[in-house]
Structure 1
Amino acid sequence: MKLHPLKGAALLLALALSAQAQDTRYVPHASYTQLAIPAPACATMNQPWEGVWNPCTGADHAEWLQDLRHWRDERRIRVGYDGSRYAQPSSAWTQSSFMQAQMMVEDRYFYDPATRQYTVDRYLDDLERRFGGIDAVLVWPTYPNIGLDDRNTVDMVRSLPGGIPAVKKMVADFHRRGVRVMFPMMLWDQGTRAIERSWPDELAALMKEIGADGINGDTQDGVPLAFTLAADKIKHPLVFQPEGLPSDEALAWNLMTWGQYTFPFAPTVDRYKWLESRHMVNISDRWNRSKTDDLQFAFFNGVGWESWENIWGIWNGITPRDGEATRRVATLERLYARFLVSPEWEPHYPMRQYGVFSSRWPLAEGTLWTIVNRNEYDSQGAQLRVPYRAGARYFDAWHGVELTPVRDGDGVLLSFDIDARGFGAVLMTSSLPPQAALDKMRALTARPLGDWSAEWRALSQSVTAVAPTKPESSAPAGMVEIPAGSFDFSVRGLAIEGGNSAGVDVQYPWETEARRFHQHTMQIPRFFIDRYPVSNAQFKVFIDATHYHPADDTNFLKHWKNGSYPAGWGNKPVTWVGLEDARAYAVWAGKRLPREWEWQYAASGGDGRAYPWGQEWRADAVPTPASGRLVATPDDVDAHPAGASPFGVRDMVGNVWQWTDEYSDEHTRFAILRGGSSYRPQGSIWYFPQAYRNDQHGKLLLMAPGRDRAATVGFRCVTDAD
């Protein structure tokens, strides 16, 4: 018998609601990949107009917890959960890897281009000084530079300074300091050079070659089991850490994840940690300037935090207060890590004070409570009531002192203070107290967190000085005169992330901090600029005359063979030259590299046009875009006369990028690239963005000359006028 369509729909809806009710009353139903389980509704006060609010009772907590446990048991059955990988010795480190840093390889604390050495100790010493150090590091060598040319995810690792031998030693240096090492994988990287074998096999082999411990799955909702099996096959087990999971079943082989949360007043329970208490979550919240929420939710859930300060070359450093809070949270979690994998974890254990929340972590040897005060004021007095146990002793594990319990019927009351937006911990034990751990925390927490500043500040950037050239009275051969004039220098950076927050993009000398949008009226003195980018033939004259050879010669003139450029390439722009190489050529020629505003003035003529030739894009003014996976051969520098600027400067846009200014802050060096290239890798928004318009620029992070050189970057020169 067929049902009427409306009746059939109603029946399906009723069955769906029934299934949800069987599954759980409290865990969100919208998606089985929902990361956070909300606290009992009574944990957060209603406003008066929202109805009567009653604080949570013991019965409320017991009902909520029973439902969560039922849901957990059922979910494990539904997905056929197998947690055996968590018991493997090769992955045991994850269960105490509370503090993980995402680190850009371009960070100046990590690599010294002068000595051409990785400075792992300097990098780690800085983190220990500022917030107590890390347990694992995610070394990031790809985005945002990937896509500048056709080097793929694997190539970006292999092109790190010193190649694989130096990278292997760098990983060993982290291991020597007790820090585990992960690298990312970008499965969205399908537009650059194709890898030579399957992704699982390629990445497993690379990680074995360099001795890394795991892989972070960038943008991935779960790393497929095939990657784990590929690593097992070559006897180099790896840990995988996606941003989330597509299903609870994937929890069995993704032993770590990121926690990308919203932060309500009452802490939520991490879904994956609840399903598998040995699972490690590192809360990742990179753009927020206060990390208090991150740390409190991590501490409540017995998990960790991703200290991500260098965000694609944009510094979002943690404040002194957050640094000190991180030091204390990390220290306590490391000291009591064995408790924080308790299968009997009890989140939202009842507390006495409003806005103070705790998790209970019982083991046979005792019980630990991790506590957070979400209020903006100190919490004092009786905080916790626990069942009476003969012979038990109670310790304020956060402050490292013994507590005096007050008998309350069949329980005891424990009183202690918690800082505003602060942390606490209680240890109950019937055995000898962990004196060394108590002493360590007592010394660490002698001063309140409020003694440290919570003010956030952007790092100041400075431009690398440019020495003037010998003034010329008329245009040298091959150069064009650019007359003096008033110029409205208006430009914006194309960094994919960061919005227009302070610290994003670049800080020009007249600005107080870095920002994305720039506008400045300036008087441009008369100067001369190369009509065309420097060609291969011109660069060979320089090489033959000076025998120039850079100290770091990796990738230098990579496309040349036997000391010369390929046949037919003489009039094409020279590429595979770094900023230092371009400067050396300019000095030899009695010139210098252009300031960015000089380049833009020469391209626009000062009338605000979008492109050198006018307001509208013209396909005949630029090379044909290369949308395949490989970089195309550049066009000759004089191939597109329609692309000339009002001053007659040619080949400014769409053939090869051109070096201009260099900037730096304490942690990052970068160069401003102008003009864009013909290479446009397809398939992802994350590739290095093109900047064809006169009012756009690219920001290339710099690390070492051998890595900075690219198949798509050349240069042109200027000289000053008298």
Structure 2
Amino acid sequence: MSGGFDPLQPRELDRPTVVPLDVDLASGPAAEVLDDAKIFAAPLDTADLPRWRTQLAAWREGARRRHGEPSRYDDPASSWASRCFTVAQVWLWDELFFDFDAQRFTPARFLADARERFGGLDGVVLWHAYPVIGVDDRNQWDFYRVPGLERAAAELRAAGVAVFLDYNPWDTGTRRGADDATELAATVRRLGADGVFLDTLKKAEPQLIAALDDARPGIGLEGESKLATARIADHTLSWAQWFADSEVPGVLRAHWFERRHMQHHIRRWHRDHSGELRSAWLNGVGVMVWEVVFGAWVGWNDRDAATLRRMLPVQRTMHRWLVEGDWTPLAVVEGTVTGSEFALDGVTLTVLANSGDTDAVHRSAVRGPGRWVALHEPDARLSSDRPLVTVPARGIAALLRLDEGATVPAGLDDLLAELAVQPHRPDASFPHRRARRLTARVWAGPVWAGPVDDASRSTVIVPAGEHVLTVRFRARETGMYEGGPYVDEWKPLPPRLHDQRTLERVVDLAVPVRVATTEVTEADFARFVTAVGASAASAAPSPDRPATGVTFAEARAYAAWVGGRLPSEDEWQLAAAQPSFSRLAPEVWNWTESEHSDGRTRFVMLKGGSAHRSEGSDWYFDGGLQHPDVSAKYLLPGLGVDASPSIGFRVCWDGAA
């Protein structure tokens, strides 16, 4: 906690807004306050529920007069967004989405995992640039120019999954091309995208909307966090990020205003997602599944994943009820069980959620002729008897009631069959993943037999034995070596975010290590290119400039070619403390033999800093020259994207001589 801010508690602006019961909400200051709400808080007294619902209806009617009818939702090209219940954020180089050995995208593998664990995805955000953008002058559009990405996007869409691109409006300090609207529209066309996630933006400006509409009619624009009521008309989706709910779950303002507006609940750093799942279920909206938060693992537990698997079949099958039916929020309030009703064509869907730690049982108070089915009960089937519904602890359930003579909803038999194999799972333990250091592949190519006085053999010796190191780094969302840096926090704010951190490391070297005094030069690397054909050589290789534009794999290969390897980050830091250790100009980050993976994210520690610095945003990768004790976690891209004009390397050899 710093400066009075408790990161584990919602900020005041995250909290739900109380709905006044004794004022006119059709217009006036009280109505305008509700225009800005995230969630309309439920009343403390259940006796106030009828008046509360009346007030919500009055606000919506007045808001539509003030802000206009959101006619965009009537366009068939936009209708897909209201069915997009679950969206995943995916780093392009997530090891489920990209095979580093084969160097190809694997969207089918990613989708298969999502089907098994979450019940499938309706959309995917292809996260491309942050947190590596800024390491050099490449802009956000350059990071979407990746071989094979168009095919991967096409595979996602062929599987019925909408493709969202990520737009970073804060990217103003890299190379400039056309204006953002032109660049983004062109990228939408090239990748066939369905939607755009507006990173750090709540809404897009009209010029951007017009350009994107021209690129893809019906494109879905999804803002981050709270969307203004006036802009619901032209943004068919929005995040419900860091939305704190009332004790009895409340109503999402944007979705109440326009039922076809899709919101995705998300608390990105939380290990317990039962709260946002409960709110999404009772409001008839979706969730964001985000397990790799910019390189930090924040995986979903079995209980919450099972809850989502039980939600999605109902939401997809009963979509019409959720967007067209008569919605009665908090039609059920029984202890820890709350429920909403959606009635259409003589069929009432009741969705139930349990905020308690023990299972609860519900039976509808409605009597009279009709048929019922408790959708999540074993051997569920239509019956004239009112069934008992078990609502598991921190879980959900649903009940369907058909009035006498009502038509059975299409797909009910398939829905029951799907739910029959989706039991609630109580295990809420966190699925830890720990990064491990990977070993470089054995070099199978030729070994250089050059003269022993080659410049790359000028070394400093790091002695064997135990060394105590101080390592400094900037606290980013990537974390460092182990786990997510902001677990169970709401919105991490400076100085929690972007501040300087320090840790101590004890390193025990079994043998002395000789580390090259300078980086490998362009001329050095050109000899390697000639010998093994590893990459395209520089047109005029210099013996004084560091070799850059070299992938991590190529740097490893060169080191092996000269009979050495890349130094680990610790060896690099220890060598840098010696007077003869030097840097070539222009200074560049150095690759190290410190590649890690937690099975989903690969990263390499960089050392040294670079002469390049992208200015204008804290979201950029670290730039400028750095003290030798500074380490930077660099998420490893594939397909040559890791090659950078700001990254070079040096070689080391084991043994004293």
TM-score of the pair, normalised by structure 1: 0.78
Equivalents in 1 of 2:484, 2:249: separation in Å? 31
- 1:487 pairs with 467, 475, 490, which one? 467
Native 8 Å contact 2:546 2:586 kept in 1: no
Go from structure 1 to structure 2 and tell me whether the alpha carbon gap of 1:599 and 1:19 turns closer, same or farther (over 3 Å shift).
Answer: farther
Go from structure 1 to structure 2 and tell me whether the alpha carbon gap of 1:593 and 1:177 turns closer, same or farther (over 3 Å shift).
Answer: same
Gaps of 5+ in 2: 1-19, 486-500
1:141 corresponding residue in structure 2: 128
* Secondary structure of residue in 1 paired with 2:94: coil
1:39 corresponding residue in structure 2: 42
1:594-673 equivalent positions in 2, closer than 5 A: 594-604=567-577, 646-651=578-583, 655-660=587-592, 661-673=594-606
1:634 corresponding residue in structure 2: none
Deviation at 1:20, TM superposition (A): 7.6
Native 8 Å contact 1:27 1:68 kept in 2: no
Deviation at 1:310, TM superposition (A): 1.1
Equivalents in 1 of 2:62, 2:517: separation in Å? 72
Tell me which amino acid in the other structure corresponds to 1:62.
P
Deviation per CA, 1:548-568, whole angstroms, max 9, x where unpaired? 225xxxxx55xx33xx33xxx
1:549 corresponding residue in structure 2: 534
Native 8 Å contact 1:371 1:423 kept in 2: yes
Native 8 Å contact 1:281 1:304 kept in 2: yes
* Secondary structure of residue in 1 paired with 2:641: helix
Native 8 Å contact 2:196 2:220 kept in 1: yes
- Two-structure CA RMSD over aligned residues (Å): 3.0
Is 1:682–2:656 an aligned residue pair?
no
Deviation at 1:347, TM superposition (A): 1.1
Native 8 Å contact 1:397 1:438 kept in 2: no
Equivalents in 2 of 1:521, 1:147: separation in Å? 31
Deviation at 1:186, TM superposition (A): 0.5
Tell me which amino acid in the other structure corresponds to 2:556.
R
Deviation per CA, 1:493-536, whole angstroms, max 9, x where unpaired? 4351266895148xxxxxxxxxx864332333422111111111
Native 8 Å contact 1:277 1:345 kept in 2: no
Tell me which amino acid in the other structure corresponds to 1:591.
G
2:6 corresponding residue in structure 1: none
2:55 corresponding residue in structure 1: 67
Deviation at 1:219, TM superposition (A): 0.7
Deviation at 1:234, TM superposition (A): 4.3
1:181 corresponding residue in structure 2: 163
- 1:90 pairs with 77, 90, 103, which one? 77
Equivalents in 2 of 1:277, 1:398: separation in Å? 25
Go from structure 1 to structure 2 and tell me whether the alpha carbon gap of 1:19 and 1:675 turns closer, same or farther (over 3 Å shift).
Answer: farther
- 2:546 pairs with 569, 573, 582, which one? 573
Deviation at 1:247, TM superposition (A): 2.5
Equivalents in 2 of 1:306, 1:131: separation in Å? 11
1:590 corresponding residue in structure 2: 563
Equivalents in 2 of 1:21, 1:588: separation in Å? 79
Is 1:223–2:204 an aligned residue pair?
yes
Is 1:201–2:182 an aligned residue pair?
yes
Deviation at 1:322, TM superposition (A): 1.6
Native 8 Å contact 1:482 1:647 kept in 2: no
- 2:330 pairs with 338, 342, 348, which one? 348
Deviation at 1:84, TM superposition (A): 1.6
* Secondary structure of residue in 2 paired with 1:488: strand
Go from structure 1 to structure 2 and tell me whether the alpha carbon gap of 1:38 and 1:574 turns closer, same or farther (over 3 Å shift).
Answer: same
Is 1:703–2:637 an aligned residue pair?
yes
Higher deviation after alignment, 671-680 or 334-343:
334-343
1:398 corresponding residue in structure 2: 376
1:249 corresponding residue in structure 2: 230
Native 8 Å contact 2:87 2:124 kept in 1: yes
Deviation at 1:703, TM superposition (A): 2.8
Equivalents in 2 of 1:273, 1:468: separation in Å? 56
Higher deviation after alignment, 358-367 or 207-216:
358-367
* Secondary structure of residue in 2 paired with 1:685: coil
Equivalents in 1 of 2:316, 2:157: separation in Å? 17
* Secondary structure of residue in 1 paired with 2:365: strand
Deviation at 1:434, TM superposition (A): 4.2
Go from structure 1 to structure 2 and tell me whether the alpha carbon gap of 1:30 and 1:96 turns closer, same or farther (over 3 Å shift).
Answer: same
Equivalents in 2 of 1:27, 1:421: separation in Å? 34
Go from structure 1 to structure 2 and tell me whether the alpha carbon gap of 1:68 and 1:434 turns closer, same or farther (over 3 Å shift).
Answer: closer
Tell me which amino acid in the other structure corresponds to 1:73.
E
Deviation at 1:146, TM superposition (A): 0.8
Deviation per CA, 1:281-338, whole angstroms, max 9, x where unpaired? 0112111011111211110110001000011121211112222111111111111111
Equivalents in 1 of 2:35, 2:120: separation in Å? 35
1:433 corresponding residue in structure 2: 408
Native 8 Å contact 2:348 2:402 kept in 1: yes
**Percent of matched pairs sharing the same residue:** 30
Higher deviation after alignment, 141-150 or 685-694:
685-694
Equivalents in 1 of 2:321, 2:56: separation in Å? 20
* Secondary structure of residue in 2 paired with 1:576: coil
Equivalents in 2 of 1:363, 1:101: separation in Å? 30
2:314 corresponding residue in structure 1: 332
TM-score of the pair, normalised by structure 2: 0.86
Gaps of 5+ in 1: 1-16, 43-55, 407-413, 506-515, 551-555, 605-645
1:456 corresponding residue in structure 2: 430
Deviation at 1:696, TM superposition (A): 2.4
Native 8 Å contact 1:265 1:374 kept in 2: no
Q: How many equivalent residue pairs?
A: 607
- 1:465 pairs with 439, 445, 452, which one? 439
Equivalents in 2 of 1:702, 1:402: separation in Å? 53
1:277 corresponding residue in structure 2: 259
Native 8 Å contact 1:346 1:360 kept in 2: yes
Tell me which amino acid in the other structure corresponds to 1:494.
R
Tell me which amino acid in the other structure corresponds to 1:184.
D
Deviation per CA, 1:616-666, whole angstroms, max 9, x where unpaired? xxxxxxxxxxxxxxxxxxxxxxxxxxxxxx342012898100001111121
Deviation at 1:270, TM superposition (A): 0.8
Native 8 Å contact 1:40 1:61 kept in 2: yes
Higher deviation after alignment, 434-443 or 177-186:
434-443
Go from structure 1 to structure 2 and tell me whether the alpha carbon gap of 1:709 and 1:467 turns closer, same or farther (over 3 Å shift).
Answer: closer
- 2:647 pairs with 702, 713, 719, which one? 713
Go from structure 1 to structure 2 and tell me whether the alpha carbon gap of 1:242 and 1:540 turns closer, same or farther (over 3 Å shift).
Answer: same
Deviation at 1:441, TM superposition (A): 3.3
Equivalents in 1 of 2:167, 2:174: separation in Å? 14
Tell me which amino acid in the other structure corresponds to 2:49.
H
Deviation at 1:385, TM superposition (A): 2.3
Equivalents in 1 of 2:23, 2:587: separation in Å? 58
Deviation at 1:547, TM superposition (A): 3.7
* Secondary structure of residue in 2 paired with 1:371: strand
* Secondary structure of residue in 2 paired with 1:100: strand
Deviation at 1:22, TM superposition (A): 4.7
Deviation at 1:433, TM superposition (A): 3.1
Equivalents in 1 of 2:473, 2:384: separation in Å? 60
Equivalents in 2 of 1:18, 1:543: separation in Å? 76
Native 8 Å contact 1:653 1:676 kept in 2: no
Deviation at 1:75, TM superposition (A): 1.1
Higher deviation after alignment, 211-220 or 283-292:
283-292
Deviation at 1:463, TM superposition (A): 1.1
Native 8 Å contact 1:222 1:244 kept in 2: no
Tell me which amino acid in the other structure corresponds to 2:74.
A
* Secondary structure of residue in 2 paired with 1:417: strand
Deviation at 1:369, TM superposition (A): 1.6
Native 8 Å contact 1:277 1:343 kept in 2: no
Go from structure 1 to structure 2 and tell me whether the alpha carbon gap of 1:20 and 1:679 turns closer, same or farther (over 3 Å shift).
Answer: farther
Deviation at 1:477, TM superposition (A): 4.1
Larger radius of gyration: 1
Equivalents in 2 of 1:66, 1:498: separation in Å? 46
